Structure 1
Amino acid sequence: MKKIVLYFILGLLVISCTNDNQEVQTVIDNQYTYQTKNIVLLVVDGPRMSETWEEVNRENIPNRVSLLSQGVFISDFKNNGSTNTNPGHSAMCSGVYENIKNNGTELPGYPSIMQQWLKYTGEDKTKAWIITSKDKLEVLNDCKLEDWKGKFQPSVDCGINGNGSGYRPDAVTVDKVKLVMEKYSPNIIVINLKDVDSNGHASNWNGYIDAIKKTDTSIKEIWDHIQSLSAYKNKTTLIVSNDHGRHLDSKGGFAQHGDDCNGCRHIEFFAMGPDFKKNTIISTGNYEQIDITSTMAELLGVPLQYANGKIIKNVFK
């Protein structure tokens, strides 16, 4: 009884000493707080919101519309850093905005949630994966910081064979994700699907729209696969977001991206998991790309270093 009273008093002290503008981190051990044991971060590379959630009838994303009954969508989610592929992915994984080179020749400056989770838990590298259609995203498994470089690196399966060998179709990446889940049951997976971005850069409008539709199907396919596996069912959170959007028509159109126009900055946050709200659309909270890292860490009970984001508290039950 004395211990219970002591814990209660300590909890009150933690809360009372916290600035009103700060997010209160979890005080209770994560294993007693959240049902989530695994997180899949699926990054759809470069769609504009005007062709996804803001399209009049949302006809290009019917699966997400249907899955919203199981999940939560933030309508005003932003990338407030560099609106390019590698910096956007790095921001989501490290919680720090950096203008790193976009060609895969520069490591992020700070360790990712994957590296920090591997160090904190002592798990084997096969329990954290980066599986991407773009080979240049292999740099996400490391960082430049001296105490972390070359250490606690997650497993990678990027592009055709990795190591700068080129891009591959998203269908191949989805198959790789499913195989890795079945073989290794990793607790963290970061996925990149690139076909939307590739068709955009090719100025192929029909291919761009078709890729958005196929990606929407892939999201449901991965979610269904999660629910089919005992290691994942009812204990896995899936977060769907974007590295960047695309230019508004008034800023040059869908073929390119990379500036601070709202078309490039406005991105998706859609998520499903045992600890999140269901059938919910959130339009408040001022949430952004680097907040994904802090939210993942909160669910997994990882004490983050370096990250500048906040926990996306409005999505929790």
Structure 2
Amino acid sequence: MKKNVIGILVFLMTLSLGFSQSKTTKTENIILITFDGLRWQELFKGADSLFVDDTGMIQNQGSLLADFWHPDPSVRRKKLFPFFWNTIAQEGQIYGNRAYGNLVNNSNSMWFSYPGYNEFLSGFADDERINSNSKINNPNLTLLEYLNQMPEYNGKVMAFGSWDVFPYIINEERSGIPVNAGFELAAGDQLTDVEKTINRLQQEIRGPWERVRLDPFTHHYALEAIKTKKPKVLYIAYGETDDWAHDGEYDQYLWSARQTDKYIQEIWETIQANPQYKDKTTMIIGVDHGRGITKRSWKSHGSDVPQAGQIWLMAIGPDTPAKGEMKIQGQWYSSMVARTVFTLLGIDEYPDPKAGKEILEMLK
């Protein structure tokens, strides 16, 4: 009964929401993407000189040099993230280079995954209730859930993640949003040949972790959904970088980071080739938390690792001015994403007043 009352109240609240009567934004679709635990240091400076020659973190000494190393950090970062620095840095915005005083942080104080994803998706930290990575349904409504309750987006919101906790973070049971995560297979009576192939491969290639599947499965499920189901709001959560880092394998961390850059390029090029999405879609990319900076602490994160709350954000789309690498001094938080999404879509007000303010620089 309590759940029904909450549902009714949420529905009535969403009825009071609406699109601006004078919508001026061009964004009609949103794609949200997160890395898990990718440090801002690699994003802005490329491969870390402290780690690339450490045989305890790479299989063969010097094996990363040809692919990732250059004495100039601006060259190194392009070798690691060619799409980010050749496309988003030219046509969008990238936040978080602390060398310029351009600061992005978690507003939560936990600095690990569930609290970070809750903040990114719901718009605020909830340290009292979201303080573990346990499979507990999120009591907070995410921006995905709010949008799914609106007629314009109902049934057009989807999520894909490598970590098996995402159905709980998004609260699939309450929200009704289909979440394919962990080792879940694509389901339904009308699976495409591609989905059937991914299902088979995922059952045959388990990967090294019990709760996180390899990112190629997450990526290709999401890519096929874009092509066939055409969601208006899509969330993709890649996970490998964090797990390779926890394992202390810096080479695999870098390979995975660069592969994810290629995956995001494929997502962007696919939507730019589709009339529903082309020049009507904003893509926002972020991360749940940072990590340490020493040979020991880079493997970890959490409140006992001082740098783990240092993160980054980027965006590209028709309403985001092409300012590239942001060098203005200021403070931004991942809690600002939710309200920014609503503003980009031309929706007057974000339902939860606790959500962070808009990232004004992302708006024309």
Report the Cα distance in structure 2 between the residues aligned to 1:294 and 1:279, rounded to whole angstroms: 21
**Does the C-alpha gap of structure 1 residues 298 and 151 become closer, same or farther in structure 2, counting only changes over 3 Å?**
same
What is the alpha-carbon root mean square deviation over aligned residues?
2.3
Q: Which of the residues 326, 350, 356 maps onto 1:304? A: 350
**Does the C-alpha gap of structure 1 residues 61 and 122 become closer, same or farther in structure 2, counting only changes over 3 Å?**
closer
SS in 1 for 2:139: coil
Report the Cα distance in structure 1 between the residues aligned to 2:222 and 2:112, rounded to whole angstroms: 24
SS in 1 for 2:312: strand
Q: Which of the residues 309, 317, 320 maps onto 1:265? A: 309
Q: Which residue of the partner structure matches residue 117 of structure 2?
A: 89
**Does the C-alpha gap of structure 1 residues 203 and 277 become closer, same or farther in structure 2, counting only changes over 3 Å?**
same
**TM-score with structure 2 length normalisation?**
0.72
1:316 is aligned to 2:360: no
Q: Are 1:96 and 1:110, in contact at CA under 8 Å, matched by a contact in 2?
A: no
Q: Which amino acid aligns with 1:105?
A: K
Q: Which residue of the partner structure matches residue 161 of structure 1?
A: 184
Q: Which amino acid aligns with 1:65?
A: W
Question: Per-residue CA shift, 1:74-105, capped at 9, x if unaligned?
Answer: 12211121211111111111112123254342
Point out where structure 2 has 5 or more consecutive residues left out of the alignment: 1-17, 47-72, 97-102, 186-209
Q: Are 2:104 and 2:311, in contact at CA under 8 Å, matched by a contact in 1?
A: yes
**TM-score with structure 1 length normalisation?**
0.82
Question: Per-residue CA shift, 1:36-58, capped at 9, x if unaligned?
Answer: 01111100111111112133231
Q: Which of the residues 182, 195, 207 maps onto 2:227? A: 182
Q: Which residue of the partner structure matches residue 82 of structure 2?
A: 62
Deviation at 1:132, TM superposition (A): 0.3
Q: Which amino acid aligns with 2:169?
A: L
SS in 2 for 1:73: strand
Deviation at 1:260, TM superposition (A): 6.3
Q: Are 2:219 and 2:263, in contact at CA under 8 Å, matched by a contact in 1?
A: yes
Deviation at 1:31, TM superposition (A): 6.4
1:284 is aligned to 2:329: yes
Q: Which residue of the partner structure matches residue 106 of structure 1?
A: 136
Q: Which of the residues 37, 41, 45 maps onto 2:36? A: 45
Paired-residue identity, %: 24
Point out where structure 1 has 5 or more consecutive residues left out of the alignment: 1-26, 144-149
Query: What number of residue pairs does the alignment pair up?
Result: 282
